[in-house]
């Protein structure tokens, strides 16, 4: 399915983004504005950054998979 059809259902969800240049990033999809994705990404410590990615830069977007049932930690 083309990524453009997925984005409306992914707003507010953690996503992985595959960029056209071969790089990738991840974060929470905050919204869409004027041909750009708005993604909040973790920087370090307690700092986050709202980044914008033009549609032409994006190759694919995928939601993070759900966690498996919790396993005990020993």
Answer yes or no: is 51 within a domain.
yes
Domain of residue 58: give its range: 3-63
Integer distance in angstroms from the first to the last C-alpha of the chain? Answer: 41
CA dist 29 and 10 (Å) reads 7
Answer yes or no: is 71 within a domain.
no
Instruction: Say which CATH number the domain at 24 has.
Output: 2.30.30.100
- pTM comes to 0.84
Answer yes or no: is 70 within a domain.
no
What does the pLDDT look like over 7-27, one tens digit per residue? 889 999 999 999 999 999 999
Answer yes or no: is 41 within a domain.
yes
Selection from 36, 35, 37 nearest residue 27 by Cα: 37
**Structurally, how many domains does the chain consist of?**
1
What does the pLDDT look like over 29-65, one tens digit per residue? 999 999 999 999 999 999 999 999 999 999 999 999 8
């Amino acid at each position: 399915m083309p990524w453009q059809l997925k984005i409306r259902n992914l707003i507010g969800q953690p996503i992985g983004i595959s960029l056209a240049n071969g790089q990738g990033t991840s974060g929470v999809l905050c919204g869409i504005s004027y041909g750009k994705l708005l993604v909040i990404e973790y920087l370090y410590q307690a700092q986050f950054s709202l980044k914008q990615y033009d549609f032409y830069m994006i190759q694919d977007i995928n939601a993070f998979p759900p966690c498996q049932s919790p396993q005990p930690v020993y």
